[in-house]
Amino acid sequence: MKRRAFLSGAAVTGAAAAASAALPTPAIAQDKRELKLVTTWPKNFPGLGTSAERWAQRISTMSDGRLTVKVFAAGELVPAFEAFDAVSSGTADMYHGAEYYWQGKSKAFNFFAAVPFGLTATEINAWIYHGGGQQLWDELSAGFNIKPMLVANTGVQMGGWFNKEINSLEDYKGLKMRMPGLGGEVLRRVGATVVSLPGGEIFPALQSGAIDATEWVGPWNDLAFGFYKVAKYYYYPGFHEPGTALSGGVNLAVWNSLSDADKAIIEAAAAAENDFTLAEFNARNGDALATLINEHGVELRKFSDDVIKAIGEAAGEVVAEVAAEDPMTQKVSDSFMDFRAKAVNWARIADQAYWNARELPYTYGK
């Protein structure tokens, strides 16, 4: 071959290679995957069931449809309180619920949902994301074949619905009340008979007299369930749930089978939903409370300082006893309580001081 022809051919080949390199590289096709998510909530229930649906949709959108999540409300695939076992065993791939529902597995789970007089929504976020809480949660849940994460928060809840006034601690004696988690343990300590019911069973139980009182979430959710139809008094504050974290759990074998990118998508979708849901509850509760009072004649009552003080003392005893049950719960409790002490000190000169200042007569909007 002549040198000139060789060089000419090489030039053409080089140009073609350069042009080819300039073209976008085709994306490598990845298999689509459908995951089954079970919830502890009634289907499409505002703020709770809808949060599960949004989390599922976020995952699908962020993965460009490669991951799809099919949501099963409480009772559709498994009963509400069996969601954890379903994911642990692999019957379902994911759950959306509240960790205190699993306290029968370990009392340590309570600390990742709500503790009486514990952390607020922003504080529990801080503990989980930046205070070592996630690492402890991972360790605890791994024993049950689950990868956990924050996925929503209701904010501060209400104290509950009652058919009689609560003027002293004596009024709790013999009271049949629905309250889950450590809050329920505290009320047992002061003499109440406590039951844990899934959301869909509360109204008929209150209506039939099977229970005398209940807590659920707050005005927005409580209005949707119609508790004002069967209970007269609505008490605050919700000492038992100062910022209830809702959780997502993924079967650990499923989690480990995912790519790093897919894990990041699921976690980012959960973090986005955690922020969005708290904002939604804060946006809806005020209007719902006004509706309950002005349109349905609900009597809003505040627990007396004496009642709160007595319940607070009982709560301290319960939390200490629960922590001592086993080494893992003690380790989680120690971390939680250490963080709580720092959060309280900061809140006194930050949020709490500001709220007090905002209530002064000279501030606008009074």
Average pLDDT, the chain: 92
More confident residue, 303 or 7: 303
Task: Give how far the C-alpha of residue 10 lies from the chain's centroid of Cα atoms, to the nearest Å.
Answer: 64
Tokens of residue 292, six digits: 């309950």
| Pairwise CA distance, residues 201 & 21, whole Å | 63
Contacts (Cβ under 8 Å, ≥6 apart) of 21: none
| pLDDT, tens digit, 9 for 90 and up, residues 47-105 | 999 999 999 999 999 999 999 999 999 999 999 999 999 999 999 999 999 999 999 99
Q: What is the secondary structure of 207-222 as a DSSP string? A: HHTS-SEE--S-HHHH
Contacts (Cβ under 8 Å, ≥6 apart) of 194: 176, 177, 178, 179, 184, 185, 187, 188
Predicted local distance difference test score (pLDDT) of residue 31: 84
Q: Which letter does DSSP use for residue 75 in this model? A: T
pLDDT above 90 covers a percentage of the chain that reads 89
Task: Centre a 10 Å sphere on the Cβ of residue 217 and count the other Cβ atoms it contains.
Answer: 23
3-state secondary structure of 6: helix
Predicted local distance difference test score (pLDDT) of residue 151: 98
Confidence of residue 12 (pLDDT cuts 50, 70, 90): very low
Predicted local distance difference test score (pLDDT) of residue 23: 46
| pLDDT, tens digit, 9 for 90 and up, residues 265-314 | 999 999 999 999 999 999 999 999 999 999 999 999 999 999 999 999 99
CATH superfamily of 33-152+243-283: Bacterial extracellular solute-binding protein, family 7 (3.40.190.170)
Tokens 């019911």 correspond to 197
- The answer to whether residues 108 and 328 touch, using CB atoms and an 8 Å cutoff, is yes
| pLDDT, tens digit, 9 for 90 and up, residues 112-152 | 999 999 999 999 999 999 999 999 999 999 999 999 999 99
Tell me the domain boundaries of the chain: 33-152+243-283
| Pairwise CA distance, residues 208 & 254, whole Å | 43
